[in-house]
Amino acid sequence: MTAYSDLSAHFGRIAALSNAIGILQWDNDVMMPKGAAETRAESMALLQVMRHGLSTDARVGDWLGEAENDSSLGAWEKANLREIRRVWTVDTALPSELVEASSKAISACEMRWRQARADADFAGLLPYLAEVLNLQRQIGRAKGEKLGLSPYDALLNDYEPGGRSAKIDALFDDLAAFLPGFTQEAMAVQARRPAQPALEGPFATETQRALGLKFMAALGYDFERGRLDISTHPFCGGADNDVRITTRYDEADFTKALMGVLHETGHALYEQGRPQSYLNQPVGAARGMSLHESQSLLMEMQACRSRQFLTYAAPLMRESFGGTGPAWESEALWHRYTRVEPGFIRVDADEVTYPAHVILRYRLEKALIADEMPLAELPAAWNAGMKSMLGVTVPNERLGCLQDIHWPSGGWGYFPTYTLGAMTAAQIFDAACKAEPSILPGIGKGDFSPLVGWLRTNIHGKGSLLQTDELLTEATGRPLDASVFKAHLRRRYIDEV
């Protein structure tokens, strides 16, 4: 056994534990009975501590020192060592007691969030969320001291390796200045069109599910390695080779659940396309959450809100729901799916107003981690931000600061990756369509294989072989460039209407 093979075997065991945690977390969010919450929290905490113990094993540092001097290793093995060292450095910053306390606090807060959201009761969630926030601050400080980063940047680094808030601030400030005027311009163009006829429901949940499964298959989702279920908040989770997605249904409007399914399928395709030979190694992991979100938003926003997709999808929608009349024509559906209208809910937002939701959350979570704002003031700060950035008045906390599960589940530092992902999605889709001219015609016929094939080669199959900027530059010819996203918005909402 060499030091590298020892490391590989060791991190294979860590991956096996992570897979067990992933399935338990999926069950927790989808079908676990409420009465099991306390027992599940204990189990999850123990598994998290076990995983942390393995990743911080003193032998890892010794093996790394020896393996990094092994000149016989290839590019994938060297990249795996880089990723192992990154994981080990971060994990050794935390004591196991903090890992255990955080896991238990998150489990309790997630369960309380479900009821609080239903009841629009932030006060009822506050003590649970305060404990999660307190522990996230401790985690951020501990990791920050080890990495030489601010607490927020240390948390961000978990989701976006190498990501820094200073760079995000500049990107988001630029977008925040661009979007209000552009939104008004797009809405003015939209207002000049004839009013769109209504889609008359109700739309049975089972019919929505069947249609979603049909589109998942068209996109290339492997049902031998995953499944579709219902949850309070849509997500993609599970384990290696068991990639599960969820959505939520509204029988008055099938379009929301359908786009949720397409979004999560984009995540799942990335997970199902990771390199099988390195699936249980850090180098085989998806390369950060901005890239992950780019894959979901590429499918949902770039591909499946295109005219080509609606040309293919409209007849299937009409057939599924028995729809008749002009509301079911592809052009009418395209206008519906590209309608710009500020609203309360992030996951239902159009792609023009969506970044405002993310920028607001990013600024709030930075302030909360830095202890610059009391947590009790979150609802008021949220509502004020929604008013100033989107011009909407939030009627209750269910439609306001309780709508997302990220903060109750410990996802502090995650939110900026959504808009970084939207910008990345535009850049990748633009490059893919230029490199492979059959992509858009294929989408128009329900054939996603040219697109998914390009993504498998250039994104999914690379795992974490390259760092984010390197991967994006290799795939698209440049690092992240906000001008591509802005050009896409102008083309779709101004030039092509």
What strand order describes the sheet that includes 228-230? 228-230, 242-247, 236-239
Give pLDDT tens digits for 117-167: 999 999 999 999 999 999 999 999 999 999 999 999 999 999 999 999 999
What does the domain layout of the chain look like in residue ranges? 3-150, 165-495
Give pLDDT tens digits for 210-221: 999 999 999 999
Tell me which fold the domain 165-495 belongs to: Neurolysin; domain 3 (1.10.1370)
Task: Note down pLDDT in tens along the chain; length 497 residues.
Answer: 799 999 999 999 999 999 999 999 999 999 999 999 999 999 999 999 999 999 999 999 999 999 999 999 999 999 999 999 999 999 999 999 999 999 999 999 999 999 999 999 999 999 999 999 999 999 999 999 999 999 999 999 999 999 999 999 999 999 999 999 999 999 999 999 888 888 988 999 999 999 999 999 999 999 999 999 999 889 999 999 999 999 999 999 999 999 999 999 999 999 999 999 999 999 999 999 999 999 999 999 999 999 999 999 999 999 999 999 999 999 999 999 999 999 999 988 999 999 999 999 999 999 999 999 999 999 999 999 999 999 999 999 999 999 999 999 999 999 999 999 999 999 999 999 999 999 999 999 999 999 999 999 999 999 999 999 999 999 999 999 999 999 999 999 999 77
Catalytic residue among 77, 83, 110, 264: 264
Tokens linked to 69: 């001097």
The whole-model pTM stands at 0.94
Dihedral pair phi/psi, residue 230, rounded to 5°: -115, 140
Rounded to 5°, the CA angle 333-387-301 comes to: 30
Which residues sit opposite 230 in a β-bridge?
247
Please give the Cα distance from 395 to 400 (Å, whole number).
8
- Catalytic residue at 264? yes
Q: Which CATH number fits domain 3-150: 3.10.260, 3.40.1350, 1.10.3470, 1.20.58?
A: 1.20.58
Q: Give the max Cα distance, the chain.
A: 71
